[in-house]
């Protein structure tokens, strides 16, 4: 026994030495690596000691948990290691050159850092899985022993009336935020586009690339943004103008309704957690604090964009799927499924993929629900066809297919930028028929594909598109590394912990977006503005918000990779527990949302709003996934 402990100690010390080393090394040139002087030596040895004790402790603790195999721990550890190494390289060099190098020093550093990160993540994940393997608490704790009377009273209220208590709590907190943010936050580009589209009297085509390609001369709404969401914003503006003769009142009405919808969905989730999953009241309080403190949830609450309502409907959809798994067949459940599905389909163009894939996977893994799932697939398919036909009959123009090609267009642009002398004239012509070849290298941005997509030629024929993709495949075979780097450079911050995303939409950015909108709606006699009387409060609010976001524990909530890693860990944990239902019912919808992020136009720290549905759903996703993973029925074949 003593020999085994000694071996484990030696192993732990070696693994810890590599792990600590990876935090000291840098992938830049060797001279920039911190010198191993006395101070660094002492710090290094201290952390080696701490980690070796931790690793040894995990080895002993996990002895009874090895029956599930180590692959589901090693696989995410290897994945995280890969992105820590390559993400660092792309952050500092916009390429993988700091990793993929023939220099022996770089190779040694990369190898040492990879080993260190792998050991570190392997043991951290092992510890997390052990904690998640602990028995799930079925009943809430008794709050009678809590001495602080107000806290005891609040927890009792949360247990007895979770929805009402949660909603009132969130409403009280967000009411001052709504007043200070009056009338709302404008996004640069999207908010202006949706407001102007619905006022046909302006005669302005937005996005501009649809000029000359509109289906109707009198209808300027198009599917670049969900038409129903555009019309909802317009309805609020019309209501505000008629009742209060104020554009500000109209857009504020939309912002308030959006906020109330999100607060309702979160409160309903808290109700499900307390009443159905029987989580402790402390976890319900954690969910509320998460929604209050999270800079991203709070910051985006009053931003005029489709992603926020979409997130609320996704939360309802996940709850409905959970009850569907439990075997409920009530009218209420089917109504909730229908309404959440309808909300997702109407407020996000790519939502249909969530339904098709989710229900197809449910049908594949769960025989009991196969017929129900297939009915939903058919219903969604019929709805999509009918909805598309209605839009066409109403003169609503389809958005450009350019939005689907962010990835290949970025890859082509990077090839043009770095290998232009090797591209043939025929290839240049094929590319130029689709994109403006002469400006690709200049407009190429490593983290945002909008510049490259902006050169797409709407007049291009199907034959031109086919020829382009033939060239794209030719260049893929010749420059596979460039293609991979173009894609990784565009999306690495979804995985690499960098890019504090707070706050993409400050009052300054919103004012700029408002001014751009005001210039185009002058004929309407409308004007958006921030009241000067609230300027002091706005400045104080924004200063405090930035201060909180800079606090290290809170900063973690502003980094997109936090949610990516959590989703990946939950996915592998469900696989580790052989829980088909946890994957099929909850993970797949969120994974599809994440895949759509990776097919979008921008990197994580720019496009964190695309992750908003996952960010809002995460407190619900955690306990339900763990609960499903512990369900005995999941351990048998379905």
Tens digit of each residue's pLDDT (9 = 90 or more) over 563-602: 999 999 988 988 888 777 777 667 788 888 898 888 888 8
Q: Name the token pair of 545.
A: 């918000």
How many of the other CB atoms lie within 10 Å of CB of 466? 10
Per-residue pLDDT reduced to its tens digit, 30-39:
444 455 566 6
The candidate with the shortest Cα–Cα distance to 441, out of 481, 482, 404, 403, is 482
The tally of domains found in the chain comes to 2
Residue 196 falls inside a structural domain: no
**Residue 31 pLDDT:** 42
Q: Name the token pair of 479.
A: 């420059």
Distance CA(483)–CA(290), nearest Å, equals 38
Residue 415 falls inside a structural domain: yes
Parent domain of 447: 401-494
Sign of torsion, CA 588 591 593 599? negative
Averaged pLDDT, groups of 10, the chain, 638 residues long? 54 86 72 56 82 84 61 92 93 88 80 92 91 60 64 86 95 95 92 93 88 88 93 96 94 97 96 89 91 91 93 93 83 88 89 84 82 87 91 90 91 94 93 94 90 91 94 94 94 84 73 94 94 94 86 87 92 83 75 88 82 92 82 43
3-state SS assignment for residue 435: coil
Specify whether the CB–CB gap between 608 and 296 falls below 8 A. Answer: yes
How many of the other CB atoms lie within 10 Å of CB of 392? 13
Q: Decide which of 83, 105, 133 is a domain's last residue.
A: 133
**Residue 327 pLDDT:** 79
Residue 338 falls inside a structural domain: no
Distance CA(500)–CA(509), nearest Å, equals 17
Residue 372 falls inside a structural domain: no
Q: Decide which of 440, 462, 494 is a domain's last residue.
A: 494
**Rounded to 5 degrees, what angle do the CA atoms 422, 423, 424 make?**
115
Rounded-to-10 torsion of CA 345, 351, 355, 356:
110
Distance CA(135)–CA(231), nearest Å, equals 49
Residue 265 falls inside a structural domain: no
How many of the other CB atoms lie within 10 Å of CB of 461? 11
Per DSSP, the residues of 314-369 read: HHHHHHHHHHHHTT---HHHHHHHHHHHHHHHHH-TTHHHHHHHHHHHHHHH-GGG
Residue 637 falls inside a structural domain: no
Sign of torsion, CA 68 72 77 78? positive
The candidate with the shortest Cα–Cα distance to 295, out of 502, 51, 15, is 502
User: Which residues, at least 6 apart from 493, have a Cβ–Cβ distance to it below 8 Å?
Assistant: 87, 91, 447, 499, 560, 561, 603, 604, 605
**Residue 487 pLDDT:** 94
Specify whether the CB–CB gap between 187 and 305 falls below 8 A. Answer: yes
**Residue 48 pLDDT:** 86
Residue 73 falls inside a structural domain: yes
**Residue 635 pLDDT:** 39
pTM of the model: 0.90
Distance CA(429)–CA(634), nearest Å, equals 55
Specify whether the CB–CB gap between 251 and 301 falls below 8 A. Answer: no
**Residue 321 pLDDT:** 87
The DSSP call for residue 182 is: -
3-state SS assignment for residue 287: helix
Q: Measure Cα distances from 428 to 375, 415, 417, 434, 472 in Å.
A: 48, 11, 12, 10, 11
The candidate with the shortest Cα–Cα distance to 199, out of 569, 615, 517, 619, is 517
User: Which residues, at least 6 apart from 564, have a Cβ–Cβ distance to it below 8 Å?
Assistant: 494, 495, 594, 604, 611
Token pair 């995410």 is found at: 76
3-state SS assignment for residue 546: helix
**Residue 632 pLDDT:** 44
The candidate with the shortest Cα–Cα distance to 418, out of 335, 342, 483, is 483
Residue 482 falls inside a structural domain: yes
């Amino acid at each position: 026994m003593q020999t085994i402990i000694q071996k484990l100690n030696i192993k732990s010390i070696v693994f810890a030495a590599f792990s600590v080393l990876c935090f000291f090394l840098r992938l830049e040139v060797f001279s920039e690596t911190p010198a191993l002087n006395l101070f660094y030596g002492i710090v290094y040895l201290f952390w080696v000691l701490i980690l070796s004790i931790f690793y040894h402790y995990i080895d002993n603790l996990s002895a009874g948990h090895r029956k599930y195999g180590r692959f589901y721990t090693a696989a995410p550890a290897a994945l995280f290691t890969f992105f820590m190494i390559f993400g660092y390289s792309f952050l500092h060099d916009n390429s993988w050159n700091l990793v993929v190098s023939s220099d022996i020093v770089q190779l040694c550093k990369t190898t040492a850092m990879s080993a260190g990160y792998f050991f570190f993540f392997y043991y951290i994940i092992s510890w997390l899985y052990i904690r998640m393997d602990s028995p799930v608490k079925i009943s809430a704790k008794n709050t009678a022993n809590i001495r602080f009377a107000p806290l005891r009273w609040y927890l009792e209220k949360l247990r007895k009336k979770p929805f009402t208590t949660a909603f009132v709590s969130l409403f009280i907190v967000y009411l001052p935020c709504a007043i200070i943010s009056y009338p709302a936050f404008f996004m640069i580009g999207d908010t202006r586009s949706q407001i102007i589209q619905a006022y046909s009297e302006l005669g302005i085509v937005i996005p501009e690339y649809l000029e000359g390609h509109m289906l109707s001369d009198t209808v300027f709404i198009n599917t670049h943004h969900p038409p129903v969401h555009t019309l909802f914003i317009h309805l609020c503006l019309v209501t505000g103008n008629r009742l209060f003769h104020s554009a500000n009142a109209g857009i504020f009405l939309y912002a308030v309704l959006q906020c109330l919808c999100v607060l309702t969905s979160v409160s309903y989730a808290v109700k499900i957690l307390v009443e159905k999953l029987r989580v402790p009241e402390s976890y319900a309080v954690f969910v509320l604090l998460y929604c209050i403190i999270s800079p991203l949830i709070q910051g985006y609450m009053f931003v005029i964009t489709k992603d926020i309502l979409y997130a609320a409907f996704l939360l309802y959809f996940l709850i409905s799927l959970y009850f569907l798994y439990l075997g409920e067949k009530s009218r209420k459940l089917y109504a909730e499924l229908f309404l959440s599905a309808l909300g997702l389909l109407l407020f996000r163009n790519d939502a249909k993929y969530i339904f098709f894939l989710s229900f197809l996977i449910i049908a594949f893994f769960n025989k009991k629900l196969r017929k129900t799932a297939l009915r939903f697939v058919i219903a969604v398919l019929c709805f999509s066809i009918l909805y598309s036909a209605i839009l066409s009959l109403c003169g609503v123009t389809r958005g450009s297919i350019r939005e689907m090609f962010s990835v290949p267009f970025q890859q082509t642009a990077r090839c043009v930028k770095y290998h232009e002398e090797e591209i043939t004239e025929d290839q240049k012509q094929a590319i130029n028929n689709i994109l403006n070849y002469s400006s690709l290298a200049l407009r190429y941005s490593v983290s945002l594909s909008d510049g490259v997509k902006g050169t797409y030629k709407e007049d291009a024929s199907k034959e031109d598109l086919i020829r382009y993709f033939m060239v794209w495949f030719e260049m893929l075979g010749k420059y596979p590394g460039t293609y991979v780097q173009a894609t990784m450079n565009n999306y690495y911050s979804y995985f690499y912990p960098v890019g504090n995303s707070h706050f993409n939409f400050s009052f300054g950015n919103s004012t700029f977006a408002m001014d751009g909108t005001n210039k185009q709606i002058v004929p309407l006699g409308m004007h958006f503005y921030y009241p000067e009387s609230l300027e002091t409060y706005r400045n104080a609010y924004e200063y405090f918000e930035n201060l909180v976001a800079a606090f290290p524990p809170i900063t973690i909530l502003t980094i997109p990779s936090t949610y990516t890693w959590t989703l990946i860990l939950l996915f592998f944990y469900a696989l580790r527990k052989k829980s088909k239902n946890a994957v099929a019912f909850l993970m797949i919808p969120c994974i599809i949302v994440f895949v759509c992020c990776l097919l979008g136009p921008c990197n994580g720290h720019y496009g964190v709003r695309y992750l908003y549905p996952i960010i809002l759903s995460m407190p619900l996703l955690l306990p339900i996934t763990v609960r499903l993973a512990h369900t005995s029925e999941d351990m048998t074949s379905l």
